[in-house]
Amino acid sequence: MAADLSGRSVAVLATDGVEQVELTQPVKALKDAGAQVHVVSPKTDTIQGWNHFDKADPIPVDQPLGQVNPERYDALVLPGGVINPDQLRIDPKAVQFVRHFVETGKPIAAICHGPWTLIEADGVRGRRMTSWPSLRTDLRNAGAQWVDEEVVTDMGLVTSRSPKDLPAFCRKMIEEFREGRHERRARATGAADEGSARAAERPAAQEPHVGR
């Protein structure tokens, strides 16, 4: 597997409050598979990792979010932890960064609370996926088909529920990242955007005039 992802670049988007093991284990798996991996964050220098309710270790930031172009990356990882995605999903630059991967059909792997940011980037509608159980209603309300499985893949989107699913998550992540961009998903996203734009431009129906 050492050369599976040779020549591929992967962004791991995270900030303070990230569940540490959900960042460090995927990063290790990706590097072991030959990928170049960057931790991208709105923060600079380091972010604070967490082990569920307890502080863990500082994690070095490789690329500040405001200085990096998402086009340089072939795939995206979204770790969980409650605090981490709750901050990212209200950061316009973070949401726009994620939206690039959604709109271009590049593979995305999100675990635990990570899919929260995908909702803001309109990346879950019509997708079969899983997450930490407390996100179930949010994802369903955003148009996802939520299932309770250790790992779910759907046209380049890999999702898992929690740290206990990391072995399966990392295996599927490597598989999907090796396959690369899903043209069919990119076309479907583009078609949906065009349809929404046409609907927005369509003039409102005129009420019939009733004479007195």
Q: Per residue in 86-140, pLDDT tens?
A: 999 999 999 999 999 999 999 999 999 999 999 999 999 999 999 999 999 999 9
CA angle 54, 56, 59 (to 5 degrees): 145
Catalytic positions: 112-113
Q: What stretches of the chain adopt beta strand conformation (E)? A: 9-13, 18-19, 36-41, 46-51, 54-60, 63-64, 75-78, 108-111, 128-129, 145-146, 151-154, 157-160
C-alpha span between 117 and 43 (Å, rounded): 17
pLDDT at residue 195, rounded to an integer: 52
pLDDT band per the 50, 70, 90 thresholds, residue 197: very low
What is the token pair recorded at 169?
């998550």
What is the token pair recorded at 84?
């981490």
